[in-house]
A and B are shown apart, each in its own frame.
Chain A
C-alpha cells in the first residue's frame, strides 16, 4: 500500500502536469507517446488514489508549525506545537542558547550557543541535533531566503560567521561588522547587523562577496538591538531597548527612511503579509499597521518579554517571557493571551522561531496541484520518504497532509 502511494502519483502527476518547471525528461518522452485517452485515464486514477489516501490520512488538515524556544539558562530548546500549544519535545543543546533561526523550508533550526561558541543544527523531522558547528560567540542568527546560508553574529569577536547549510561548515568569517554585533536580518541580498554599542549602528554585508558595504547610523546608544526584515525584503525594522521608536531601513538605499512610533522594544517580527510589525518590549506586545502607523495590538503582560514570532497565518504571536519561564501565545485579533506555555529557564528565543507554512510545486486551487507537488518532491528528493525527512515531516503521511492543506488553501 505504501509503495503504491509513493510511486503512482509521481508517475501520474508527471503525465498530467501542465507546469513545465515540474516536468522532467521522462515526462517529455511519455507526453509524446501518450494519447489523450491515456491522459484522461491516468487523471481519473489520480483522483481515485487521492480520495483513497485522504481517507487513510484522516480528516485532520491542521498544519502544526512548531515553535523552537531557546532556554538560555537550562541549555535546551523547547519545541511547542502551535496547534495544541503544548511542549512536544525538549532538546538538549550547547551551553547558553540565545539566537534561533528556522530555515525557510522548516526542515532545520539553527541555534546559537553562546557558552561554547557553536551553532547547533536541529532536524525538525526528528527534533534532534544533527550537527554542531564551531563558529564563534554567537548572539543573533539568521538564515538566507534560499536556505543555503546561515549567518551568526559573534558578539565578542566583532565578526560574522557565514555557514554553508549543505556542509554545515563555516565558509567565511566577515571582519569589521561593527562593535558587539547582536541582532541580524537578511534582506535584499544583504545581511544587516545591529551593533550593541555607542553610537548605535547597523552594518550591511553583501552576501555575494561577504564584504561590509555600508554602515548606517541609527541612534546615540543601544541595548539589545534587534532587526526584523519585511517578507519582501524591502524594509528592515530596528529595535532598541532604550530607543524611543523603531527606525525603518530602506534596503534599496540602505538609509533610514522613517520610524514606527512603538517606543522601546526588545525584538520585532513582521506579519507574513508584511502589513503589521509586532514588537516585544519589556512587559508589552505592540503591533502596528505599517501603512497607517495605527497601533492594532497593544497589550501589557507581566513576564519580561524578549523574543517574538508570528504564525504563518498571522493569527497568533508567540512571545518568550524570560522572567516567567514561559511562552505566551497571543491572539492577534484580540491581543489576549490564549495560552501560557511553561518552558525551560530564561527563555529568550531571539530570532525567527516558528516554522513557516510549507509551500510546494503545485498551484493551490488547481486540479493537479497535489500531483504536481508530489511529482516535484519525488523527483527532487528521490521519493517521498526522502522528501519527508528532508523537509522536516515525521512521516510521509504528514507530508501528504501538508500538501493537501497547501493545495486546498
Chain B
C-alpha cells in the first residue's frame, strides 16, 4: 500500500470512528484468501459487521472505494 492509500485509509477510518463504526482490514495473509486485502465496517456498539456491498453477505468485501461510497450514502 502506497502512502496516498494509507492516508486515504486513515481518513476514512477517522470518519467512521466519528459515526460509531470501526474500519477493519482483513488479516488474511494468503493472497488467494477470499478476504485478502478487503475491508469491513463494524458497528462499534453491536460488534457486528455492517451491511455489505453489492452481492456480499460477508465481511471484508469492501475496497476503499466501497467504504467511501458507503459513507457518502449515509
CB pair A223 B35 closer than 8 Å: yes
Residue B66 CB within 8 A of the other chain? no
Residue A266 CB within 8 A of the other chain? yes
CB pair B58 A242 closer than 8 Å: no
CB pair B57 A156 closer than 8 Å: yes
CB pair B27 A223 closer than 8 Å: yes
Nearest chain-A residue to B50 (Cβ)? A156
Partner of B51, one of A156, A284, A305, A323: A156
Label chain A's interface by main secondary structure. loop
B-chain residues with CB within 8 Å of residue A304 when the two chains form the complex: 32-34
Bin the interface of chain B by size. 20 to 34
CB pair B32 A282 closer than 8 Å: yes
B-chain residues with CB within 8 Å of residue A306 when the two chains form the complex: 34
Nearest chain-B residue to A182 (Cβ)? B58
CA distance A3 to B46 in the complex (A): 62
CA distance A197 to B42 in the complex (A): 9
Residue A169 CB within 8 A of the other chain? no
How distant is B49 from chain A, measured CB to nearest CB, in Å?
A: 5
B-chain residues with CB within 8 Å of residue A385 when the two chains form the complex: none
How distant is A153 from chain B, measured CB to nearest CB, in Å?
A: 9
CA distance A329 to B51 in the complex (A): 34
CA distance A178 to B46 in the complex (A): 10
Nearest chain-B residue to A323 (Cβ)? B32
Residue B2 CB within 8 A of the other chain? no
**In chain B, residues 30-69, which have Cβ atoms closer than 8 Å to a Cβ of chain A?**
30-36, 46-52, 54-60
CB pair A241 B48 closer than 8 Å: no
How distant is A285 from chain B, measured CB to nearest CB, in Å?
A: 11
What's the count of A-B pairs with C-beta under 8 Å?
A: 107
Partner of B55, one of A95, A158, A223, A241: A95
**In chain A, residues 165-217, which have Cβ atoms closer than 8 Å to a Cβ of chain B?**
179-180, 182, 196-198
CB pair B48 A156 closer than 8 Å: yes
* Residue tally, chain A, CB below 8 Å to B: 41
Residue A371 CB within 8 A of the other chain? no
B-chain residues with CB within 8 Å of residue A223 when the two chains form the complex: 26-28, 33-35, 59-60
A-chain residues with CB within 8 Å of residue B6 when the two chains form the complex: none
A-chain residues with CB within 8 Å of residue B18 when the two chains form the complex: none
Partner of A266, one of B27, B34, B54: B34
A-chain residues with CB within 8 Å of residue B51 when the two chains form the complex: 156
Residue A27 CB within 8 A of the other chain? no
Partner of A281, one of B30, B55, B59: B30
CB pair B34 A302 closer than 8 Å: no
B-chain residues with CB within 8 Å of residue A264 when the two chains form the complex: 28-30, 33
Q: Bits for B4-28, please: 1 = Cβ < 8 Å to A, else 0.
A: 0000000000000000000000111
Partner of A98, one of B36, B49, B58: B58
CA distance A396 to B71 in the complex (A): 56
Given contacts A73-B54, A264-B29, 7 further A-B contacts (CB under 8 A): A156-B49, A156-B51, A179-B49, A241-B30, A282-B30, A282-B36, A346-B55
Q: Which residues of B contact A (CB under 8 A)?
A: 26-36, 46-52, 54-60
